[in-house]
Amino acid sequence: MHSRPFQFTAYAQNKGAESEGQVQSVRDWMLTDAFWRWAWCVSLIVAMLAGVACYEWWDDIVRVWPAAARLYLPG
């Protein structure tokens, strides 16, 4: 008999697709400073690319969504 009751978790559903060692290694990697430095850098780059895309295609955005023109009124 098991001493602990069975618990439903998201990881229990994925055991057929992934081995438990892979899941644990991903968890361990997410706890490192290197992972979070990498994640912050990637998110900063994505935010900068989104800003540049909005700047470059602002006229097209306003054409599709006229209310966006009120976000920036020159002068």
In order along its 75 residues, the chain shows pLDDT tens digits of: 556 666 666 555 555 555 667 778 888 889 999 999 999 999 999 999 999 999 999 999 999 999 988 887 776
For residue 17, being part of any structural domain is answered with yes
For residue 38, being part of any structural domain is answered with yes
For residue 24, being part of any structural domain is answered with yes
pLDDT at position 48 is: 99
Size (the chain), residues: 75
Burial of 61 (0-12, 13-18, 19+ CB in 10 A): middle
For residue 60, being part of any structural domain is answered with yes
Say how many domains are in the chain: 1
Distance CA 11, CA 45 (A): 31
Please give the model's pTM, rounded to 2 decimal places.
0.57
Residue type present at position 68: A
pLDDT at position 38 is: 95
pLDDT at position 46 is: 99
For residue 48, being part of any structural domain is answered with yes
pLDDT at position 73 is: 76
For residue 5, being part of any structural domain is answered with no
Structural domain harbouring 37 = 10-71
For residue 54, being part of any structural domain is answered with yes
Distance CA 73, CA 60 (A): 16
